[in-house]
Amino acid sequence: MSLLTASIFLLLLLALSAFVSAAEIAIAAGRKIKLQIMAKEGDVRAFDVLKMQEHPGSFITVVQVVLNAVAISAGAVGESAISPYLELLVKNEAVSSVISFVLITSLFSLLADLMPRRLAMSNTEAIAVRLVRPMMLLIFIFKPVIWIFDGAANVIFELLGISTIRQDDMTPEDIYAVMDAGAEAGVLKKQEHHLIENIFDMQERTVTSVMNPRENIVYFDTKTSTEKVVEVMIEQPHNKFLVCQEDDLEHIIGYVESRSFLALVLNQQEVSLTDKALLKPALFVPDTLSLFEVLEMFKSTGADFAVIVNEYGLVVGVITLKDVMSIVMGELVTLEEQPIVQRTDNSWLIDGMTPIEDVVRALDIVDLPRSQNYETISGFMMYMLRKIPKKTDTIEYANYRFEIIATDNLKITQMLVTRMDETV
C-alpha cells in the first residue's frame, strides 16, 4: 500500500473514530430534562437521543465494535505503510516500528479520542442531536453484529438478575443539587433558592412543627361575658378565637372572628358567642399531616384556620394559613418576634419552641440524632439530656454548645447556642 493510500485510509479511520467517540460521550451524558425541553421546542432528534438512552445496548455495542476495529486497522495500516519509510531514515527496523506505533497512537489519542470527547462534554445536548441520526445509521449497518453481542450480553445480565434500563427519574436530592448549583452559579438568587427549598420542606414537615401549641391557645367558654371577651381580644390581638363548652378545649363548638365580634359590640348590639351569625365551624386536622397536605386542605375547604388533634382525640394546637406561608416565604416574612436571633458571628439566642428544622438550617447542621422523635429544639435538649431540662444544662453536638438560659416551670423558654471552634 502506497503512502498516499495509507494516509487517506488513516484519515478516514481517524474521522470515523472521532465521530464515534464524540457520539458516545454526547449521547450518554445528555441531560434528560434538557433533551425533553428541546423535544418540546420541536427538535424531534432529541426524542431519538432519549430513546437511545433508555435502551443503550445497541448503541454501546456499535461504539465498542467500531472503536476496536478502527484501532486494529489503524495499527495494521500504520505498521505496514509508515514503517518502511521510517526504516530508511533510522536504519533500524525495530526502532522504526516503535516510532510508527507511537505516531499512530498519539495521533488517534489526540484527534480521535481526547479532542472529540472534550468537545462533546462542553456541548453535550447540541452535539448529541446532531450525531444521533448518523449513529442510528451505523446501528442499522452493524445490526447482525449487534444482534450477536447485544443478545449475548442480555442473556448474561438476565442470568445475573441485573437490569440495564437507564433510570433517569428526578428525585428530591437531584432537584436540591440542581438548585445548589444554580445558586452557586448565580442563576438563582439567594432568596429564590430558599423559597424553592422551603416548598420542598413542606412535604417533610408536619403541622406540629409550626403550630401554636395547646398551652398558648386563647379560647372562650360559651358563658364568657361580652366584657371579658372584649378585654381578652384587646390584650390578645388574634384574628380568631376558639369557642368551647364547659371551658374545655376537648369540646370545641367553633370559632369567632374578633373583627366581626367587635364590630357588633361597637354598634351596641347584643352579642353571643353561640350566635350562628358569628360562630363558624372549626376545621379539625390530624397531627400527622404534612404542611403541604394542610395547605391543600385549606385550599379545598376555603378555610385558613385549623385545630390540630392527636390520635387520642386531644387538641394539641392550632395552625393558620399565615403559619404555613411563613414557612414557605422564610426570611421574606417579618415576624414580630424572631425565634432565632444571631447575637454575634458565633452565637445565637433561640426560643425553646423553635422548630428543629429551622434550627438545623440556621446553624447549618447536617443532621441531628433521632430527629423523628422531637419537633422543637426543646425536644432535642430533652432527648440529649435524657431528663427534664433545667437552667444552665448544656450539651455539645456538631461543634456547637447548646445551653439553657431560661425556663418557665418545665418549659425551656430561651437557649444560647455557641459555635465551639470560635471559642477559647
| pLDDT, tens digit, 9 for 90 and up, residues 83-104 | 777 767 777 777 777 787 788 8
Secondary element (H or E) of residue 253: strand 252-257
Instruction: Answer yes or no: are the C-beta atoms of 338 and 362 closer than 8 Å.
Output: no
Cell numbers for 261, please give them. Answer: 365580634
Query: 73 pLDDT band (50/70/90 cuts)?
Result: confident
In percent, the amount of the chain with pLDDT more than 70 equals 88
- Residue 319: what pLDDT? 94
- DSSP-derived secondary structure letter, 347: E
Domains plus CATH for the chain? 3-160 (no CATH), 172-204 (no CATH), 207-331 (3.10.580.10), 337-419 (3.30.465.10)
Close Cβ partners of 225 (under 8 Å, ≥ 6 residues apart)? none
Helices (H) then strands (E): counts for the chain: 16, 12
Average pLDDT, the chain: 84
Three-point CA angle 118, 123, 128, nearest 5° = 100
The span from the CA of 52 to the CA of 367, in Å, is: 40
Annotate 265-320 with DSSP letters as a single string: HHTT----TT-TTT-BPPEEEETT-BHHHHHHHHHHH--SEEEEE-TTS-EEEEEE
In tens, the pLDDT along 133-163 reads 998 998 888 888 888 887 888 788 888 887 6
DSSP label at residue 335: P
pLDDT of residue 424: 39
Provide φ and ψ at 92, rounded to 5°: -150, 120
- What's the sign of the alpha-carbon dihedral 278, 281, 285, 291? negative
How many angstroms separate the CA atoms of 233 and 288, rounded?
31
- Contact of 316 with 213, CB cutoff 8 Å: yes
Band of pLDDT at residue 176, cut at 50, 70 and 90: low
Calpha distance 272→135 (Å, rounded): 80
How do residues 207-247 score in pLDDT, each as one tens digit? Answer: 888 888 898 899 999 999 999 999 999 998 889 999 999 88
Q: Which grid cell is 368?
A: 441531628
Predicted local distance difference test score (pLDDT) of residue 423: 43
Q: Where are the alpha helices (DSSP H) in 109-225?
A: 115-122, 124-141, 143-160, 172-185, 190-201
The DSSP element (H or E) to which 411 belongs, if any, is strand 411-419
Asked whether the predicted pLDDT for residue 187 surpasses 50, the reply is: yes
The runs of H, that is alpha helices, within 55-123 are 57-90, 93-108, 115-122
